[in-house]
Amino acid sequence: MSYRQTLRWRAFDTHGVITIPDADRLGVPAVELRKLAHRGALERLGHGIYRMTEVPPTPLSEYAEAVALAGPHAVIADDAVLALHDLALVNPRRITVATPDRIRATLPPTIHLIRRHLSPEEVTDIDGVPAMTIPAALRACRDHVMTDRLTQAVHDARERRLIDQDSAARLLAELGADRGGQDEQGYRGAEGKQSGRRRSGGVLAGTTAATSAAVTAGSTGVTTTGTTTRTTTRTTTRTPAERPTATSTEVTL
């Protein structure tokens, strides 16, 4: 098998990302990566980091690239983790990556790098991409994501079996969702009435419940006697169900 084929097979498992350490473990010299980049089989992303152009991108490709560019100890963090799991209705413009190391390299503007030491319990693996666990990400987002959204994210994650019951209970307690003796089911009922949200396939599809406003419907009566015309206008406030479809004018000569 050629060096190119070896790296291609590896790239299918790494969402297209190839690094010099990866190549070294596979017995591919670093000089061969530069040759393949010159031939167009690899695209250089950063120092010692390449994308295999012959492998189609996956939904996790941009996350894998961000972690690779941030260094060997980097993980996807905070709102990027929630966005990856379709939780809390977040849509960050940049991918947040946490690392305990000091990074001197210039990163693309699509990456938001933060320095943070994480315990092993706060880190997991999502199809080969290192990331914070969902509970750790939810806790980290408490200062910049609305509590209602985080609380709903806990319910969504539990229903989709992304977290267990004990983790959900602890998170709800920390977020204050159980304040006032309201249990989880009661909160979900109240939340559903308030937001009108519906779930499909584990991804929250939110819709805002329509609100009704009273409309003003006017009817005008015109009475003419001889040369004198008297016009009276009556204005009533009606609900949409009572709203007339047309107004009529009656003239008596």
CA distances in angstroms from 80 to 10, 44, 97, 151, 192, listed in the order given: 25, 24, 8, 17, 26
Residue 173 pLDDT grade (very low, low, confident, very high; cuts 50, 70, 90)? very high
The mean predicted confidence, pLDDT, of the chain is: 77
63 in Cβ contact with 129 (< 8 Å) = yes
Percent of the chain with pLDDT over 70: 70
Tell me how many degrees the CA angle 166-167-173 measures, rounded to the nearest 5. Answer: 90
Antiparallel, parallel or unpaired: β 129-132 and 203-205: unpaired
Mean pLDDT calculated for residue range 162-173: 95
Mean pLDDT calculated for residue range 168-188: 64
The yes-or-no verdict on residue 125 having pLDDT over 60 is yes
Domain ranges of the chain: 1-57, 137-194
Task: Give the pLDDT confidence of 224-235 residue by residue, as tens digits.
Answer: 333 333 433 343
More confidently predicted of 247 and 215: 247
Task: Give the pLDDT confidence of 71-94 residue by residue, as tens digits.
Answer: 989 999 999 999 999 999 999 999
Q: Out of 2.40.50, 1.10.1760, 1.10.3470, 1.10.10, select the CATH number for domain 1-57.
A: 1.10.10
The yes-or-no verdict on residue 187 having pLDDT over 60 is no
Residue 147 pLDDT grade (very low, low, confident, very high; cuts 50, 70, 90)? very high
CA 204, CA 166: separation in Å to the nearest integer? Answer: 22
Tell me how many degrees the CA angle 7-73-69 measures, rounded to the nearest 5. Answer: 55
